[in-house]
Amino acid sequence: DLLDEAATNLTNAGTVFPFNLSSGFNGLNTPATFREFNRALRARVEVYRPQPDWNAVLTSFLPESFINETEDLRLGAYHLFSTATNDLLNQVFADPQAGSGDSWVAHNSWVEDAETGDLRVDEKVQLRDEPAALDDLSSDYGLFVYQSQTAPMPIIRNAELLLIRAEALAQRNNAGDLDAAESDLNVIRNAAGLGNFSRGTGGQAAVIDEMLNQRRYELFFEGHRWVDMRRYDRLDELPIDRPDDNVWVSFPIPENENINS
């Protein structure tokens, strides 16, 4: 794997880079700390495989990453945007009250399904003065995850790593693993103003359900939900709002990238 090859190169790269990284990599801007970023990505890649090596995630990739249950959940690496010449603006920022044709909106079910008191609802969406409506689709909530044209976008952050660890623990399901998974999930929940989760008699299945739910809310609009539901064969649980719509099971290959075209 290229990530593993890069990790080896970073191990042998000395103590400083011969170039500067953006402030989006603060704390991860030396060969040693950038290797932690590399290992974080490696953990994500592994859980996205059809047959993940959960033990490797828990004993190799995550321990060598920047995962830390006592640190800010936002700790991580970020894409930066700016108004400077030749730089780019954050293309997924829009005024949450913008007109229907110019807005980014949340599906109403994301708010309706949230637990009472979840602070992430008010942090990530805003109730619109008027519903956004277009082509028989509508929403009452404008997205407010990225709150300006220069708001940074996470590449990977501490919250995702804790959720990956909870998932790997639940999947490995050895003695004590479900308790440890609950502990990681409760770090995420408590930061969102929610009380502790307990699987009760639900066992592994309950922990996996809670892990997916916390990924849904914590990583909202960071590009994971469809992938998560496909990984767990749950695409049929995603909402369909028009009779002729469907949920894609794969991304189409652009015609100019299809070698058989």
Cβ atoms 115, 196 nearer than 8 A: no
What are the φ and ψ backbone dihedral angles of 17, each rounded to 5 degrees?
-80, 150
Please report, in tens digits, the pLDDT of each residue of the chain (261 residues total). Answer: 899 999 999 999 999 999 999 999 999 999 999 999 999 999 999 999 999 999 999 999 999 999 999 999 999 999 999 999 999 999 999 999 998 788 899 999 999 999 999 999 999 999 999 999 999 999 999 999 999 999 999 999 999 999 999 999 999 999 999 999 999 999 999 999 999 999 999 999 999 999 999 999 999 999 999 999 999 999 999 999 999 999 999 988 888 888 765
In this prediction the pTM is 0.95
Residues 6 or more apart in contact with residue 203 via CB below 8 angstroms: 178
Which domains occur in the chain, in start order?
Answer: 2-80+152-238 (1.25.40.390), 81-151 (no CATH)
Cβ atoms 137, 244 nearer than 8 A: no
Q: Percent helix, strand and coil across the chain, each rounded to 5?
A: 45, 10, 45
Residue whose token pair is 């890069």: 6
